[in-house]
C-alpha cells in the first residue's frame, strides 16, 4: 500500500483506528514566545522597582545629612533638614519655605512661682560654751562672818580670806551660789571670772574646773543651819565632819570641835552681793 493510502483522512481518524501524533502539541512555538515575553516583562518590572527604591534611599540619606549655614549665620551653627513624609523632597520646596536662621539668644526661662510665705529662719545657734561656764548673771551673794560682822569672804591671790572690804574689792567679795557640782542638794560657789571655790590641802582656794570627779567633790559644800536665823555652816561633801571656818582670817576645812570658838569661826551669813 502506498503511503498516501495507509493514512486515512485526518478529519476522520476514528473510522480506521488511526490517531494523530500527539508528541508535538500544536502552537508550541507560540507558547515559547509568549513565555519568554512574560519573563522579560517581569524582569523589567523588578529592575525598575529596584532602581526606584535605590533612588529613594539615596534621596533620604541626602536629606538627613546636615547642611552648613551661610557665613552670615551667627555662631557657625549647623541646621538639619527635615525629610518629607513621603521620603522624596518636593522640587522648589526650599525656595517657597526657607529654613529659619537660628539665633544665639538663650531661651527665656519661665519664672517659677514665688512662695506665698518665706520659710522661717532657723534660730541662731548659741555660742560655744567655754570650758568653765560662768553662772547666770544675778546680783550675787556675799558671805559674812558671824563673829566678825565687818569682814567677808574675799579672793586674794587665789586664796579665800576673811577681809574688810574696800571700795575696789567688792567684786572679789561677790560670788554666785549654784547647785553643788557633786551633789545638787548642796552648794558650789563661783567667782566673777568663772572659777570655783574648792578646798585643796584643806585650804579654801579659787580654781578653774578641771572636769575631774575630785574637783567636783572638793568644790561642793552642804549647808548645816543653826538655830539662829540666817546662820549656817558649810560641811565638805567628801570629808564628812569637816566644816569651813576661818583661822587667822584664812578659810580652812577643819574637823568639828565642840567649842564655842569653833562654832563662832564656822558660822556665816549669806547676804546680798557687795559688788
Among 74, 90, 73, smallest CA distance to 82 is for 90
| Residue 16 pLDDT | 55
CA 145 – CA 160 distance, rounded (Å): 13
Which residues have C-beta within 8 Å of that of residue 187, sequence separation ≥ 6? Answer: 177, 178, 179, 180, 220, 221, 222, 223, 234
Q: Is 264 exposed, middle or buried (0-12, 13-18, 19+ CB in 10 A)?
A: middle
pLDDT in single tens digits along all 275 residues of the chain:
444 555 555 555 555 555 555 555 556 677 778 888 888 888 888 888 887 877 666 655 565 554 444 444 444 444 444 444 444 445 554 455 544 444 444 445 555 555 555 655 655 544 444 444 444 456 799 999 999 999 999 999 999 999 999 988 999 999 999 999 999 999 999 999 999 999 999 999 999 999 999 999 999 999 998 766 678 999 999 999 999 999 999 999 999 999 999 999 999 999 999 97
Among 148, 135, 145, 264, smallest CA distance to 190 is for 135
Among 86, 78, 85, 81, smallest CA distance to 97 is for 81
Report the chain's C-alpha Rg in angstroms: 61
Distance of CA 14 to the CA centre of its chain: 113
Beta strands in 148-272 (DSSP E): 152-156, 159-163, 176-179, 187-190, 196-200, 203-207, 221-225, 231-236, 242-247, 250-255, 268-272
Beta strands in 64-106 (DSSP E): 67-68, 78-79
Q: Are strands 250-255 and 78-79 parallel, antiparallel or unpaired?
A: unpaired
User: Dihedral sign, CA of 87, 91, 94, 97?
Assistant: negative
175, three cell numbers: 560670788
Amino acid at each position: 500500500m502506498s503511503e498516501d493510502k495507509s493514512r486515512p483522512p485526518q478529519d476522520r481518524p476514528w473510522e480506521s483506528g488511526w490517531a494523530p501524533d500527539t508528541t508535538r502539541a500544536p502552537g508550541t512555538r507560540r507558547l515559547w514566545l509568549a513565555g519568554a515575553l512574560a519573563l522579560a516583562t517581569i524582569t523589567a518590572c523588578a529592575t525598575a522597582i529596584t532602581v526606584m527604591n535605590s533612588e529613594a534611599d539615596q534621596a533620604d540619606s541626602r536629606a538627613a545629612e546636615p547642611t552648613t549655614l551661610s557665613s552670615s549665620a551667627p555662631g557657625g551653627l549647623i541646621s538639619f533638614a527635615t525629610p518629607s513624609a513621603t521620603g522624596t523632597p518636593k522640587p522648589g520646596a526650599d525656595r517657597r519655605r526657607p529654613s529659619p536662621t537660628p539665633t544665639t539668644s538663650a531661651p527665656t526661662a519661665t519664672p517659677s512661682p514665688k512662695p506665698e510665705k518665706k520659710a522661717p529662719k532657723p534660730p541662731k545657734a548659741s555660742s560655744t560654751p567655754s570650758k568653765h561656764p560662768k553662772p547666770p548673771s544675778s546680783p550675787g551673794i556675799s558671805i559674812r562672818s558671824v563673829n566678825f560682822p565687818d569682814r567677808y569672804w574675799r579672793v586674794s591671790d587665789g586664796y579665800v580670806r576673811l577681809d574688810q572690804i574696800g571700795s575696789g574689792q567688792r567684786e572679789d567679795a561677790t560670788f554666785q551660789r549654784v547647785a553643788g557640782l557633786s551633789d545638787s542638794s548642796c552648794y558650789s560657789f563661783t567667782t566673777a571670772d568663772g572659777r570655783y571655790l574648792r578646798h585643796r590641802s584643806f585650804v579654801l582656794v579659787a580654781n578653774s574646773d578641771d572636769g575631774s570627779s575630785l574637783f567636783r567633790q572638793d568644790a561642793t559644800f552642804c549647808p548645816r543651819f543653826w538655830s539662829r536665823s540666817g546662820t549656817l555652816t558649810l560641811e565638805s561633801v567628801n570629808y564628812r565632819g569637816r566644816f569651813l571656818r576661818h583661822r587667822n582670817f584664812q578659810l580652812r576645812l577643819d574637823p568639828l570641835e565642840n567649842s564655842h570658838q569653833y562654832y563662832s569661826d564656822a558660822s556665816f551669813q549669806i547676804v546680798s552681793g557687795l559688788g
